[in-house]
């Protein structure tokens, strides 16, 4: 996996062949195909590792009682975005280069792990009085959907910046403006 990750980052997903990965891994190509039948399977395995790490970040912040809910949510998204930007070539490959079914497959696998932690943070915000939502679970689902679109758009901008497209920092600000409104945060003192 480390060899594939390095090659995807160095050469890009599309320019990396399965034979390159096998060679860098030091295994015979036939042996490599026992574990991975296609390059997309390798990419999916690498992304699963990253998603596990991101889930750990979100769960860890959901459990922290020393942080107000808004701060936990900001740290969760900020830390996840920072980590994903460190792996931007891999994220871009999943979102923009891999078969269209891969992002949907990964989301389907990991949303059930992420939503309870996001919901817990929102429920804590409701108890603290910093967030006003009637249905925290639905709010968490909507927030995740908007966050995914934000990540996808940011990846597109990083990969091929459009002259008239928004800067990633503007996307981040717009995401937070939307999130705070959607969560019923009425004063920036809670933000």
Same-domain check for residues 109 and 58: yes
Same-domain check for residues 1 and 68: no
Q: CB-based burial of residue 76 (10 Å sphere; 0-12 exposed, 13-18 middle, 19+ buried)?
A: buried
Question: Per residue, what are the HEC states of the chain?
Answer: CHHHHHHHHHHCCCCCCHHHHHHHHCCCHHHHHHHCCCHHHHHHHHHHHHHHHHHHHHHHHHHCCCCCHHHHHHHHHHHHHHHHHHCHHHHHHHHHHCCCHHHHHHHHHHHHHHHHHHHHHHHHHHHHCCCCCCCHHHHHHHHHHHHHHHHHHHHHHHHCCCCCCCCHHHHHHHHHHHHHHHCCCCCHHHC
Same-domain check for residues 10 and 45: no
Same-domain check for residues 119 and 152: yes
Same-domain check for residues 14 and 107: no
Same-domain check for residues 186 and 92: yes
pLDDT score of 7: 86
Does the global pTM surpass 0.75?
Answer: yes
Same-domain check for residues 64 and 82: yes
CATH number at residue 2: 1.10.10.60
User: How confident is the chain (191 residues) per 10-residue block, as mean pLDDT?
Assistant: 84 86 90 87 85 90 94 89 77 70 77 90 95 96 87 73 76 88 74 46
pLDDT score of 187: 63
Number of domains in the chain: 2
Structural domain including 2 reads: 1-37
Same-domain check for residues 102 and 178: yes
Mean pLDDT of the chain: 85
Task: Note the pLDDT tens digit of each residue in 51-61.
Answer: 888 899 999 99
CATH number at residue 60: 1.10.357.10
């Amino acid at each position: 996996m480390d060899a594939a990750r390095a090659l995807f980052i160095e050469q890009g997903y599309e320019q990396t062949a399965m034979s390159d990965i096998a060679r860098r891994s030091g295994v015979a190509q036939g042996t490599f195909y026992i574990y991975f039948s296609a390059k997309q399977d390798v990419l999916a395995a690498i992304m699963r590792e990253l998603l596990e790490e991101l889930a750990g970040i979100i769960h860890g912040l959901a459990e922290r009682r020393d942080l107000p809910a808004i701060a936990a949510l900001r740290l969760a998204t900020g830390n996840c975005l920072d980590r994903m930007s460190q792996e931007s070539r891999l994220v871009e490959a999943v979102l923009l280069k891999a078969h269209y079914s891969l992002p949907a497959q990964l989301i389907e696998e990991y949303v059930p792990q992420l939503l309870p932690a996001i919901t817990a943070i929102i429920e804590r915000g409701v108890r603290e009085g910093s967030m006003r939502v009637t249905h925290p679970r639905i709010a968490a689902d909507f927030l995740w959907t908007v966050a995914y679109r934000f990540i996808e758009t940011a990846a597109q901008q990083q990969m091929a910046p459009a002259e008239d497209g928004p800067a990633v920092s503007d996307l981040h600000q717009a995401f937070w403006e939307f999130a705070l409104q959607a969560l019923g945060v009425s004063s920036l003192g809670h933000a």
